[in-house]
Structure 1
Amino acid sequence: MKDSINLSNIKKFSKTFKTSKTNSLSRNALIKNDATNVAVDWDAFRNINHTFSNVISNQMPVTNQKASGRCWGFAGLNLMRLNLAEKYNLDDFEFSQNYFMFWDKLEKANYFLENIIKTFKEPYDGRLMMHLLYNPVQDGGQWDMFVNLIEKYGVVPQTVMPETHHSSKSNLMNYFLTHKLREFAWILRKMSKRKTTIAKLRRNKENMISTIYSMLCMFLGNPPENFNWEVRNKKNKFFRFNNLTPKKFFKNHVKINLKDKVCLIHAPMSNKKMNELYTINFLGNVVGGNIIKYANVKIDELKRATIKSIKNNEAVWFGCDVGKMLHRDLGVMDMNLFDYEILLNTKFNMNKGVRLEYGDSLMTHAMLFTGVDIKNGKPVKWRVENSWGNKSGDKGYYLMSDSWFNEYNYEVVIDKKYLTQKILNLFNKDPVKLDPWDPMGALAIK
């Protein structure tokens, strides 16, 4: 074939297509049906079973992030609510995801404008500036960013700061916030080129952040400073706590030490070593807070630590590429559930590392592992608490095959007590800095 497609090529392509009856069958099926359903393998489908050998206790009804990208916050708050529910014997509870979102947006706005001040010498059309300007107050985030917010602002029950239209459907709010922040970036860069002092830039930034705060109050409501909490548990016992602050509520009522948890990733890419600590430049939310830290280790290390956690009745926050080999209605993520190679008459040959390097895969979603099915000493499937409501899967709980874990799970957050000393030592190193657009940061830039 030459550099351009010619008529001879088209005739050859058409002839090749028509020589296969399988191609015609696939065409006829796909014209009227969704590929996800057409490709389902019957043997894999009939073996779907949401029963697991090891499941944490105190599981609660799933939450619903609706039309927002707050999965990482939902997963983190869902992890924390398990501790609260165990302490007070509750059958259901939700922290305010809206309260969490408010402070995340405000901190991201400040983080963005600080980065604009630091990078004023960068060309506006360079890759770094284009990256920073692309999505400055995105809904997504990473574990260390979650910890930053909880430690600084605490938490409140959902009843104290409930969902609003724009917390559940964030696109329009994000548009206006982004529009305003880009305007502020333009102003700060103009001032910087006139050799304005950092002190004066930050005085102007304070007024800018005040504007963002007001906009957030309009979209999400004013965050509470004090509140009362009343709750009745499974045994009908009533509790009342008065004059709480968000930080006091977290400190006194949520039995969890977030600082004891660290991130393990599996990124088998040519530019990343195993048993190395990484961070990502210009990725964060709270200026002066914890930076993103990942220890890149073998996939079996992620599994081993996750199994230990679940067996000790502790759920595990994780990040994955959820849309791949997923049947959303069934709530199943399984490499063997679909036979796209037969349906589309072609082989798919990229491995996990190549998919990451060539933009075919990245972290897109965070959820919780709440169970594992172990057979002959090895995991065969995993129970997942999602945050997409209760209409799919097992009342909102999903099933992940172990082969899917291998291919599309990238990160787990593990308590240090479940890790070997060799892995713990990695977190004492200075992290290797990755580019802001690295796929390991993708969960935070959705």
Structure 2
Amino acid sequence: MFSRQGLVAVLIISYTSTIQTANDEDTSKWVQQTFNNATEDDIDLTPTGEKINDLDCITDNSEVGTCVVYYLCDPDTHTIIADGTTLIDMRQRQCISYLDVCCGHKSILPEETLTTTQKQPNTNPHDVIKFQEELHTTPATFNATFSDDKMEKNLHSSVAEHFSSQCGWDVPSLFVFPKNDSAIYANYGEFPWAVALIKKKPTKTWSPNDYLGGGTLIHPSVVLTVAHKVDKINAQKIKIRAGEWDTQTVKEKHQYQEKNVKRILIHPHFFKTSLYFDVALLITESPFDLAAAPHIKPACLGTSLPSPGTECFSMGWGPDFNNEDKYATILKKIQLPLVGSGDCTEKLQQSRLGTYFRIHSSLTCAGGIKGIDTCQGDGGSALVCPIETKNNYTRYVAYGLVAYGIDCGVADRPGVYANIPAALEWINQEMIKQNYGIGTYTA
């Protein structure tokens, strides 16, 4: 049994799966190249500041275009957005950066010659009224008619505002790739609560030795993580990075934020030898600015564990033990089924833990699929399970934190996670003591 030290969560999956989850063969090549570029040398997470690539390319409409960052290209007309509206999924792979797409120039016209054509909304009035009722609003909330674009924009804005005000929802409006649960990488905005714990250094250069592990944002000023990552370190030596996705580029729609840690709270029953109650709260010196960051938001915390077999996810930037432990640069995700305590105990007894081993009530299990697992360096990352899907949004609840395992990716050998519901009473008590309350992470 060992603690998971180093970088955050990793998805263990074959190259075949990469091809299956990508848009096409070119996409899989770009993603594979991106994942394999990192080395064991120091990795600089400082944004590179590269410029948008102005290379000629051919659009989906077979016209000459220019490579622009993905969210600047209108998905319907394949022309560069001039008014700042909409985001798109990545479609082309002719551009040097995988976050660039080929986009035409028809929308770039002199202001005096620019004309507009009214577009018929595809919103059904009955759907609008139904959604209003779900939000407990009245039709007056939507200050628009059913016959123009303003109606549709107001509806979409109200939908986004509704979900952004609650914990645990993903942000599909930020997605770069098509939504796919079996993908080997997380979408931008898919797990907006995922944060990185990093040792503070005079420079922005970061190496694996500086990376402490993963964490989960539960309040603008509070991060939940495992105690064994932070019980022997001074709070003033840690910083939290939220809103990260691709560590090697600044082409995401929004940039990450970093905050220093001022206080570490360890669960009073934490027992490091066996990692019982392996839970800690990190209090930041100042809150993250969530109003200016739709890609950063709190997770929901579960009150009781779902049934065994429930499909859940972990996420992070950890090394791939099936690929020479090379570090990923894009946030990855791991799909794992929950495993009941009795079944987990029996399976782990077959390892070196022996027949007397029992899973403690402060721990839970997930995984046991060959080649798919969290591993060394993944400690502190959340284990989340989907509880609701609505209007293409998915809501997740965190039930665990990566704690330990016996080897990595071995069939019928689940990983062990801190049981969040078992520690929730203590978490609530500490949050109330800090005058933060529990509303930010309550589903």
Normalized against structure 1, the TM-score is what?
0.26
Structure that is richer in strand per residue: 2
The structure with the largest alpha-carbon Rg is 1
Structure that is richer in helix per residue: 1
Q: Which has the higher contact order (CA 8 A, sep 6+)?
A: 1
